[in-house]
A and B are shown apart, each in its own frame.
Chain A
Amino acid sequence: MSTNQRPQPWQAPEHDQPVAQVEGYNFAYLDEQTKRMIRRAILKGVAIPGYQVPFGSREMPLPYGWGTGGMQVTAAVIGRDDTLKVIDQGADDTTNAVNIRRFFAKTAGVATTEKTAEATVIQTRHRIPEKPLTEEQILVYQVPIPEPLRWVEPRETETRKMHALEEYGVMHVSLYESIARFGRITTSYNYPVQVNGRYIMAPSPIPKFDNPKMHQMAALQLFGAGREKRIYAVPPYTDVKSLDFEDHPFTIQSWDDTCALCGADDSYLDEVITDDAGGKMYVCSDSDYCAERREAGHVGHQGVPAGTDTKGEAQ
């Protein structure tokens, strides 16, 4: 099959309404046999929370690192009635997020949205939305490295045994060494968790700020790693505990500042450089959360009320 002359799916203009599915693609790109295989892996992942199910990853028309694992999970899950939101680092408008959204709008004809509350399926890279997710939603994570033990044990045969026997001592030793050397656990992203008191799992490179949101979440959480060919899951209302020690309890990132645009003091903030002189401000990483707050009338110390012309404000 020649793919050379095909227009690439992400070159399509973006639509936020359902569009007719484009001829020449299977629904959501994958063939039915591949979808069945991925679906079976997802179901076993749900049945064994936090365990990484191997699957026969397929080539997707985007390079690894663009979320091919998450895309395969989304492609296997999504249906015509779904509304898809895609975020990258909390934002809907980055190249990666826009490309993935276009891809599914074109190959599956699904509706897309930037509003967390309107989405039934949310594919994410590096964040969990600030707005609490509901029982009607599925969160799909793009995962680069699914194995949480990889940095203490490079051999797959060994990590598989460690998971099988629940031999996680080496992981705790490694975390404790970080405390001994730095006075704290220095990991801020992809901070390891234990699921339902059993499997240690990589939450993907979300900030540890987001880890508590995984615990007892109302939504189903699915994880896809394309290059390493692993799928795993956390069912709704499941315990997810960040690893810690009695004398060094788990803590999340915090800021002395609030969001400059919406004034939020409860969201994950990104530092934004505002001028060449090193001026900076902090704004919500979750762009939908920030926009919704501003629409509701919240104004940060650098912000202007929603609906006001912002010309001349930007640097």
Chain B
Amino acid sequence: MSADNLARTPHLTPGFTDSVTESQTVFRHLLEAMARPGTVQTVDIDIEGPDTLDRAATAIALALVDFETPLYLAPALATDAAETYLKFHCGTRITRDSMEAAFAILDKAPETLSGFNSGTDEYPETGATLLIQVDTVKAGGPLILSGPGIKDTTNIDLPEVPSAFWTARTAQQRYFPRGIDLVFVSGGSMVAIPRTTNVSLTAGKE
């Protein structure tokens, strides 16, 4: 399909209006989120992305995904509109094989991280980045984060993510430097949990 035909597709909404500036802005938010795990960053950009994608997920895809980085969409998000949008604006290839994806956009925390590429000991940067859409990301709460980027500890709340997910993730951390980097997104907000961040749960809510 040519770009002209795609542009006339009724589903296809615009990407960034000023791609140079907006890509840089979104990247800096994500860089800040990755460098300071647990801090909530909010992307203040108006984008009319596909219905199934949160604004922050669309913004990160527009800023960072391209033909060099195959993208996986969870089945619940993989509408024609979403695939057409991402293929057209990012020039990316949508893959059905989650193991092949450099980026993935998911509608919930996966039961296991073993369905995604965690890189190799020699090239750990090939480990995937998962954008996980949730209803709530907020500072303060029962999850205690520590590790690089965090002065002492910080607390966040991701109420929809089951504790079994954190247990499985902690078990996988022993394979460092192999690992998977997580970005939880909700609307325009994001909080990153890279592979080095240790996550533990307080006994009860504060």
Contact = CB atoms under 8 A, between A and B. Distances in A.
Interface of A: 26-27, 32-33, 35-37, 39-49, 51, 53-54, 76-80, 135, 160-161, 163-165, 196, 198-199, 216, 218, 220, 233-238
B30 interface: yes
A9 to B, nearest CB: 17
B64 A80 contact: no
Given A43-B30, A43-B34, A237 B21 contact: no
B163 to A, nearest CB: 23
A164 B121 CA distance: 5
Given A80-B21, A235-B148, 4 more contacts: A47-B194, A218-B151, A235-B35, A238-B148
Contacts of B96: none
Interface string B190-202: 0000111000000
A46 B34 contact: yes
A220 B179 CA distance: 21
B196 A196 contact: yes
Nearest to B91: A33
Q: Considering the complex of A and B, which 5 residue pairs feature the smallest CB-CB distances, nearest first?
A: A164-B121, A44-B125, A235-B149, A47-B194, A238-B148
- The number of chain B residues touching the other chain, given as a range, is 35 or more
Interface string B163-185: 00000000000001101010000
A45 to B, nearest CB: 8
A159 to B, nearest CB: 10
A198 B176 contact: yes
Nearest to A234: B148
> Counting chain A CB atoms within 10 Å of each CB, which of B21, B27, B127 scores highest?
B27
Contacts, number: 107
Contacts of A53: 125
Contacts of A36: 23, 63-64, 66
Contacts of A27: 20-21, 24
B129 interface: yes
Given A164-B122, A236-B149, A79 B195 contact: no
A160 B122 contact: yes
Most buried by A among B20, B147, B151: B20
A237 B35 CA distance: 9
A315 to B, nearest CB: 46
Interface in B83-139: 120-122, 124-125, 127, 129
Given A32-B19, A32-B20, A36-B23, A161 B149 contact: no
Contact of A49 (B129, B179, B196): B196
Contact of A79 (B24, B34, B36): B24
Contact of A77 (B28, B69, B176, B179): B28
Which of A27, A39, A53, A233 has most chain B Cβ within 10 Å? A39
A35 B23 contact: yes
B20 to A, nearest CB: 5
Interface in B59-93: 63-64, 66, 68-69
A47 B34 contact: yes
A237 B150 contact: yes
Contact of A46 (B19, B21, B176, B194): B194
A46 B35 contact: yes
B36 A43 contact: no
27 contacts: A27-B24, A32-B23, A35-B24, A36-B63, A39-B31, A43-B181, A44-B181, A45-B125, A46-B34, A47-B34, A47-B125, A47-B179, A48-B124, A48-B125, A48-B177, A49-B148, A54-B125, A77-B27, A160-B122, A164-B177, A196-B147, A218-B151, A233-B35, A235-B34, A235-B149, A236-B149, A237-B150
